[in-house]
Every structure is written in C-alpha cells, then in structure tokens.
C-alpha cells in the first residue's frame, strides 16, 4: 500500500493522483449506469485540459483565471470537461442548451470567456458569430468498443 502525505498545498490533487495509481479500484464518476474509473477519468480530462492549453487562441488573463464556458448536455462527457477545464487552471461557466442564441451570446460576452467546451448538441447552437467570440473545443462522445 502506498502512502499519502497530507498537509500539502493541493491535497485534492494528491488524493486524486493516489486514486489513479490503482485505476481499476473504484468508479470515479457514474452517470446513467455508465462509469469511469479514476484512471479513465484522468486520461480523458487530461486530453480536454491539453486541448485547451495548446489551442492557438488560449490566453490566460493577468488579472483572473481563464473562464471556460460549458455548452453541453448533461452527460459523463460534461463531467470530464469540467475537470479538464479545472486542470487547465480555468473557472467553468455552465451554459444551458435551452437558452436562446441571444442569451448564449450575452453569456459569452458578459463572462468574457476564454474558450467554450461543447458537445455535438451544443455545437448546433454555436453560430459563426458565437464561434468568433472565443475558441471552441468540441468533444466527441466515445463509442463503445465492439467485441
């Protein structure tokens, strides 16, 4: 059994890294009878975080953390996107898919978003005008492996 040092600057990250050392041990997230282990969650969240950080238009404001909008359906992927944004050092702003285009545009402008993370459903709501406001990261639903 490995040991965990408490009292570090970022205890939550240390606990999470500790859990990832045994990726098959337990479910980290369960949504609609689908689950991800800590290891699977870490891999997928890291890919979102990396996509944000490596995006050519990604900028970190000097006066505050970057703000990332999440325009996506309630899903396991939305949970992954939230964690990925957090790992990129950003604050997440949820945007409802049920809002009209004008409200979505107002939210993007008022919140001064650095980027928007969306899924296929949210992508249909992003007009060219909205896409021009900030970088957009689209995550694709993973299809189950066929046996």
Residue 58 lies in a domain: yes
Read off the DSSP letter of residue 86. Answer: H
Does the pLDDT of residue 13 top 50, yes or no?
Answer: yes
Give the structural domain span for 95: 11-138
Number of compact structural domains in the chain = 1
Residue 124 lies in a domain: yes
Cα(65)–Cα(49) distance, rounded to whole angstroms?
14
127: domain CATH number?
Answer: 3.40.50.980
Cα(28)–Cα(19) distance, rounded to whole angstroms?
9
| Position 69 confidence tier, pLDDT thresholds 50, 70, 90 | very high
Residue 5 lies in a domain: no
Output the pTM of the full model.
0.75
Residue 65 lies in a domain: yes
| Position 40 confidence tier, pLDDT thresholds 50, 70, 90 | confident
**pLDDT tens digits along 18-37:** 666 665 567 888 888 888 88
Residue 32 lies in a domain: yes
């Amino acid at each position: 059994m490995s040991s965990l040092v408490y009292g570090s600057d970022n205890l939550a990250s240390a606990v999470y890294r500790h859990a990832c050392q045994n990726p098959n041990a337990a479910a980290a997230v369960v949504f609609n009878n689908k689950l991800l282990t800590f290891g699977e969650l870490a891999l997928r969240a890291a890919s979102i975080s990396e996509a944000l950080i490596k995006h050519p238009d990604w900028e970190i404001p000097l006066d505050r953390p970057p703000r990332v909008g999440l325009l996506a359906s309630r899903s396991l992927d939305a949970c992954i996107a939230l964690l990925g944004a957090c790992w990129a050092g950003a604050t997440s702003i949820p945007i409802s898919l049920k809002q009209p285009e004008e409200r979505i545009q107002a939210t993007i402008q008022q919140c001064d978003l650095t980027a928007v993370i969306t899924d296929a459903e949210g992508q249909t709501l992003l007009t060219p005008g909205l896409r021009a406001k900030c970088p957009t990261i689209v995550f694709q639903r993973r299809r189950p492996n066929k046996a």
